[in-house]
């Protein structure tokens, strides 16, 4: 009943069918786990992620391949995985994974204070805005603006994405916002934020 209710909610957003997505999700489980909580920390947890965000990323992985890397997002694994997916497949998979629950994580005590300060307040002197301004005080993001849920995400994955935004190898962010911010982050900032987000709730 819950799955049906959530599926209907997602369908109203972009016609994704969660039941159909479940049937199509077997290949995804190899890296992201059967419940969307990736057991290998280099891969992201996608359970409970906003359907609109998952759909957008799948579209851009495919675009990255079809454009030869000139547009979209390139990834050695996901770009190839997205190629055979139809637009409806993407919508269905996004709807399905959004209905699942992301497993909780923890934040090491030694990064709580500095991580919270950087996440919630940023650093005005260095021109770093608050992460919470877009991703929310609890890291839940927002579906409408396609800002992802980042709380409970694997720290290793968050660290890798921030580094890619910083060096420009990931460039599918809205108006270059994440690239502009990441360029101002030190290695220590990225390490602290990544660990802090692992248990943010």
Residues in a beta bridge with 26: none
102 annotated binding-site participant: no
Residue 94 CB neighbour total at 10 angstroms:
27
131 annotated binding-site participant: yes
Which DSSP letter does residue 45 get? P
Give phi and psi for 147, each to the nearest 5. -85, 125
Residues in a beta bridge with 142: 147
78 annotated binding-site participant: yes
Tokens of residue 102, six digits? 């992301």
42 annotated binding-site participant: no
Q: Are 115 and 188 in contact (CB under 8 A)?
A: no
174 annotated binding-site participant: no
Q: Are 128 and 160 in contact (CB under 8 A)?
A: no
Tokens of residue 77, six digits? 């694994």
Binding-site residues, in ranges, read 28, 31-32, 78, 131, 134-135, 178
Binding-site residues for heme c, in ranges, read 28, 31-32, 78, 131, 134-135, 178
């Amino acid at each position: 009943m819950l799955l049906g209710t959530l599926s209907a909610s997602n369908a109203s957003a972009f016609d994704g069918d969660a039941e159909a997505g479940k049937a199509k999700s077997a290949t995804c489980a190899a890296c992201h786990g059967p419940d969307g909580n990736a057991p290998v920390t280099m891969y992201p947890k996608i359970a409970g992620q906003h359907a609109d965000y998952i759909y957008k990323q799948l579209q851009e992985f495919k675009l990255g391949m079809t454009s030869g890397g000139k547009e979209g997002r390139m990834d050695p694994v996901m770009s190839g995985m997205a190629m055979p997916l139809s637009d409806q497949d993407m919508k269905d998979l996004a709807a399905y994974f959004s209905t699942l629950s992301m497993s909780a994580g923890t934040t090491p005590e030694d990064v709580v204070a500095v991580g919270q300060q950087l996440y919630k307040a940023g650093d005005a002197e260095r021109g770093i805005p608050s992460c919470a301004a877009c991703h929310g005080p609890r890291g839940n993001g927002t579906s409408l603006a396609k800002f992802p849920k980042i709380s409970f995400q694997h720290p290793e994955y968050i660290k890798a994405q921030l580094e890619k935004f910083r060096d420009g190898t990931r460039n599918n962010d809205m108006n270059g916002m994440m690239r502009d911010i990441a360029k101002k982050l030190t290695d220590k900032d990225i390490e602290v934020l990544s660990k802090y987000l692992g248990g943010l709730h």
